[in-house]
Structure 1
Amino acid sequence: MLARTFWDKRGLARRMAVAILAAFAAFVFVAGPANAQRRNKDKQKTEGRVLSTQVGELVLKVQEALQKDPPDNATALKLINQILAKKKLTPYEKAIAYQFKGQVSYALNNIPDTIKSWEAAIATGALNEDEINSLTPNIGQLYIASGKYVKGATMLENWLKKGGKANDRIHLMIAQAWLQADKYRKALPHAEAAFRMAKPKKKKHFDILNYIYHELKMYGKQADLLEQEVSIWPDDKKIWRGIASLKQQANKSREAFEINKLMYLNGMLTKPRELVALAQYYSYYEVPYRGASILEREMNAGRVPKTKKNLVLLANMWRQAREYDRAIPVLTAAAKIAPDGSLYEKLGEAYYAEEQYDKAEQAFRKALQKGVKKPGNVHVLIANSLYERKKSHEAIKEFQKAVKYPYSRKTAKGWIKFINGEFEVARRQREFRAKVKLDECKNQLDRKKRMGAEFLEGVGEITPECKTILAKEEARKKALKKARKKAKAS
């Protein structure tokens, strides 16, 4: 019932794309080359880590351009290119220039050139370990932000292994990168680390871990995680739906049903498909009356459309609940808009269950007019409706129509045999009663003959009924005798 899980990768991917850039913007920090130079001037006064007078003057101009409000990135870039165009630059001078160029390129949203510049700065070999460790995570994050997920995630992992300082943002970004590359196992430890380190925990920490647990079928851990999440955000319908979906997947559909009931009582189920699904849950768990009541109420409120499909569902639930009188108006409305006669057939069955046999017959005949898959069965139902109204001869005619169809032939023949048997029993009963009455009349006649002269008026008189019966019997005998003579003569 809950076929579509709420852990939708496409939706999660869109959220993560925004999160990657946001996390990068929050985390990225480029130590200006001059700042780095000043920071290290006392402990790093080795040969080659100084700037020439000409380069130093240009670097100061670059800094002045970048310190303006807003920064003059165009002038800064022009000055940086002048530095890089000079011949006989030392590796350290190149490293300073490339770091500045990366910083300006990032400000200009030129991500490819930012990566290229910072990698060129590291490639000069003039940067110390701290400076390399400052640039490396930024480069890795930029690779991820530009869609090179594996390269960026690998770079950040190597940086962490070499002693890089981790935080929940870095781990979350690595997890997101591996997730985009469909490497769920690689994403898992980083998502868990981000979750542990995050204080306070936000939806994004739950969402990515939920998604990974789901994809790796780690439903137990996912259930525990959702329970933590719902305790923080008890009004979030998406979380409750996730718990219900997990229960369903774990073959705990009864628990899923209870969760849906709780969501409905708290006003969380508002969409037509959600409300219809809840009604179906009630039907499945043999509580059709409650399900039908909810569905009817939501239809009347306009939250569930009165489509043919929904009307049929409602009618079926009323029938399941044996509330045929409530199913009849629903089926009547649905049958009128149905393209065939199947719903008129169901309507006839509802009338039949209510012992409204004449209306049942009318509905069944409309079903035949609009067309049904098995008309033979409908003829049987019409015949049953006639039989219940003591119209046995008409019923036999309908059963005879049903005999023409292989699937209804056996049933129809059985009924025909049964009704003919009733006819035969009735005939024999009539013959028996007639014989008993004839014997009684003969006794009256014999009694009168025995009394002879002693016969008194009003005593032992033959009744008018018996006189008629005896006359008919005498006429029958004479006709029989005449017929025999005629037969003998011929």
Structure 2
Amino acid sequence: MHWNRTRIGNVNRRLITGVLLALLSLQGRAETETDESKKYAVSPETYKVLNQSRELSDQSRFSKALSLLQAQLPKVADNHYERALIHQHLAYTHLERHDYLQAVIALEETLRGADTLPPDTVHNLRYNLAQAAVQAERFEQAIKQLDLWFASEPRPSAEAWYLRALTHHKIKRFDRSADYLKKALAISERQDWQILLLSIVLEQNKYREAVPLLNKLIAQAPNEQSWWLNLTDVHLMLKDYGKALSVLELAHRKFDLPKDQIVRLAQLYMHKNTPYLAAKLLTREMERGRIERNAANMELLANSWAMAREHDKEFTILKQLAAMRNDGNLYLRCAHILLSREKWNESAGMLNKALATNNLKNRQQAQLMLGIVYYNSGRMDYAESAFTRACKHHQTKGQAQRWLMQIKSQQKVDS
């Protein structure tokens, strides 16, 4: 929890001032004191110390204020009420100087005299102690005090529910934290609280619960790009690819997306069987310079054109990419396209480039294809050599042998 230092200082001053005014009122009614007023009366000396310490704190002279209060403690050792008041003012002074651990210690001392304090004061002190304990990272102690405070608080504020949620979140009790946050949000829909609840449900992989939270955040802050991207991620985790595509497509129209998100959008187009949109997107963004013409993006573009059955465009990209990587498998893909168009010589050239690399996976298939293109181009000696090499591989041996028989039959006819 992040304290608003100015606000906290003002709150503490109001608390101290309220105590002092009450004391002054009691002193002013000394002649008609009731038993109740006698119970909460203080000596003029203690009153003076409390008043001076407040004035010193108002001047940010905290060390002087603390010294003054500490010096008074031995003088009120037998007066449990005044001792509690001194510790209470010590606590508020420590809070003013943001020394939360010392504030916790002082508030604990104050509550040891709880039986001498008004019930409302004790109630408020428990809440103050819980706040200070959170700042001092003593979360179990904060939880204990909040449990006591909530037990006697008829109308907890949204801030109180949030504080309770935060303490449980800090010790990874996510279910309780989420329950308390929902109570806080039912009173006040603060965005930072919604974000904390979102982080909790994501921490627990409760992606379906995250969807309405992100939709609400988008409605509240439609120009915050991160919410759109987070919602896309959540839909992907739920394997709801159609909704992920819709959200990311809207985000692309609204924002200049990071390059990785543009690539992701293209991948989603392909996943939803709209590869033409993926190819057009990648082409446009490469031309604009918003995504690089690197090997990975160009391969995605080539695959997009392939799925869209735009094989001429696929070939153009594949040829560039194969040369960029010296990738035998890409050369082989180029050869397939050329072979399907009966461009025998060009296909043979691609196949020889593929076979010259060290990374070709399907070498036997390339040998068989090379024999076929040589055969169809009338280069029988080259075809026979390629088929003979293809016979050395189990996967292509049968086909290669049939082609060799066809060559021998053709040679007999020619002779």
TM-score range, shorter chain: 0.7 to 0.9
CA–CA separation in structure 2 for the residues paired with 1:299 and 1:354: 28
1:398 and 2:379 are equivalent in the alignment: no
1:22 equivalent in structure 2 = 3
Can you list the C-alpha shifts for 1:169-205, whole angstroms capped at 9, x where unaligned?
221222122122211111122111111111xx33213
Aligned partner letter, 1:66: S
Equivalent residue letter for 2:376: E
Describe the superposition over 1:461-482 as per-residue Cα deviations: whole angstroms up to 9, x where unpaired.
xxxxxxxxxxxxxxxxxxxxxx
**Letter of the structure 2 residue corresponding to residue 284 of structure 1:** H
3-state SS, counterpart of residue 356 of structure 2: helix
Q: Which whole-Å CA distance do the structure 2 matches of 1:408 and 1:83 have between them?
A: 100
Partner of 2:196: 208
Q: Does the 8 Å CA contact 2:20/2:47 hold for their aligned counterparts?
A: no
Q: Which residue of 1 aligns with 2:241?
A: 253
Q: Cα deviation per residue 1:332-352 (whole Å; 9 max; x = unaligned)?
A: 322223154222222322333
Question: What is the alpha-carbon distance in structure 2 between the residues aligned to residue 410 and residue 44 of structure 1?
Answer: 113
The aligned counterpart of 2:157 is: 167
TM-score, reference length from structure 1? 0.75
CA pair 322-420 structure 1, distance change in 2 beyond 3 A: farther
Q: Establish whether residue 59 from structure 1 lines up as the match of residue 50 from structure 2.
A: yes
Query: Is this contact kept in 2: 1:296–1:314, CA < 8 A?
Result: yes
User: Tell me, what secondary structure is at the counterpart of 1:303?
Assistant: coil
The Cα of 1:400 is off from its aligned counterpart by: 1.1
Equivalent-residue separation in structure 2 for 1:414 and 1:157 (angstroms): 86
Task: Report the alpha carbon displacement of residue 393 of structure 1 after superposing the two structures with TM.
Answer: 4.2
Instruction: Give the alignment partner of residue 142 of structure 1, picking from 98, 119, 132.
Output: 132
Indicate the residue corresponding to 2:117 in structure 1: 127
Following the alignment from structure 1 to structure 2, what is the Cα–Cα distance between the partners of residues 142 and 343? 65
Matches within 5 A, 1:167-186: 167-186=157-176
Alpha carbons of 1:24 and 1:187: their partners in 2 closer, same or farther (altered >3 Å)?
Answer: farther
CA contact (8 A) 1:325 1:354 kept: no
How do 1:340-379 residues align onto structure 2 when only pairs under 5 Å count? 340-371=327-358, 372-379=360-367
Equivalents in 1 of 2:72, 2:88: separation in Å? 12
Output the CA distance in 2 between the equivalents of 1:264 and 1:187: 35
- Give the equivalent residue in structure 2 for 1:380: 368
2: CA distance, partners of 1:288 / 1:25: 57
Following superposition, the deviation at residue 97 of structure 1 comes to 0.8
| Conservation of the 8 A alpha-carbon contact between 1:62 and 1:80 | yes
Task: Output the TM-score relative to the length of structure 2.
Answer: 0.87
Instruction: Indicate how the Cα distance of structure 1 residues 53 and 257 shifts in structure 2: closer, same or farther if over 3 A, else same.
Output: closer
Matched, 1:191 2:181: yes
Aligned ranges 1:65-104 → 2 under 5 Å:
65-67=56-58, 70-86=59-75, 88-104=77-93
- Given that residues 345 and 367 in structure 1 are in contact (C-alpha distance below 8 angstroms), is that contact kept between their aligned partners in structure 2? yes
| CA positional deviation for 1:279 | 1.0
Provide the rounded CA distance (Å) in 2 between the counterparts of 1:44 and 1:366.
Answer: 105
1:101 Cα deviation after fit: 0.8
Contact 2:279 2:304 in 1 (8 A): yes
Secondary structure in 1 aligned to 2:346?
A: helix
Q: For the structure 1 residues 219 and 310, does the alpha-carbon distance in structure 2 shift closer, same or farther, using more than 3 Å as the test?
A: closer
Instruction: Pick one of 29, 36, 45 that aligns with 2:36.
Output: 45
Give the superposition deviation at 1:129: 1.0
CA contact (8 A) 1:324 1:354 kept: no
Do 1:23 and 1:173's aligned partners in 2 also have CA atoms closer than 8 Å?
Answer: no
Name the residue aligned to 1:332: 319
Match of 1:224 among 212, 233, 243: 212
Of all paired residues, the percent bearing the same amino acid is 19
2:281 pairs with one of 294, 302, 321? 294
Q: Deviations over 1:336-375 (max 9, x none)?
A: 2315422222232233334332122112111221222332
TM-aligned CA distance change 1:25 to 1:342, over 3 Å = farther
Q: Offset of 1:150 from its aligned partner?
A: 3.3
| Range with greater deviation from structure 2 (210-219 or 36-45) | 36-45
Residue 283 (structure 1) aligns with: 270
Matches of 1:265 and 1:302 in 2, distance apart?
A: 17
Q: Which amino acid aligns with 2:370?
A: I
- Are the aligned partners of 2:344 and 2:376 in contact in 1 as well (CA < 8 Å)? yes
When the two structures are aligned, how many residues end up with a matched partner? Answer: 403
Distance 1:339 1:38 in 2: 91
Runs of 4+ in 1 over 6 A off after TM superposition: 39-44
**Counterpart Cα distance in 1 of 2:159 and 2:5:** 9
Q: List gaps (5 residues or longer) in structure 2.
A: none
Classify 1:418/1:317 alpha carbon distance in 2 versus 1 (closer, same or farther; 3 Å).
Answer: farther
Q: C-alpha deviations, 1:261-291, integer Å up to 9, x for none?
A: 22223335x2121111111112222222221
Distance 1:330 1:246 in 2: 33
Going from structure 1 to structure 2, the CA distance change for 1:109 and 1:312 (only over 3 Å counts) comes to same
What amino acid maps onto 1:257 in structure 2?
Answer: L
The structure that has the greater radius of gyration is 1
Deviates more, 1:387-396 or 1:89-98: 387-396
What amino acid does structure 2 have at the position aligned with 1:124? Answer: G
Give the letter for the 1:271 counterpart.
P
CA distance in 1 between partners of 2:400 and 2:35 (Å): 106
Kept in 2: contact 1:76–1:104 (CA 8 A): yes
**Inter-partner Cα distance in structure 1 for 2:193 and 2:291:** 35
User: Alpha carbons of 1:254 and 1:54: their partners in 2 closer, same or farther (altered >3 Å)?
Assistant: closer
Gaps of 5+ in 1: 1-19, 432-490
1:80 deviation in Å? 0.6
Query: Is 1:34 matched with 2:24?
Result: no
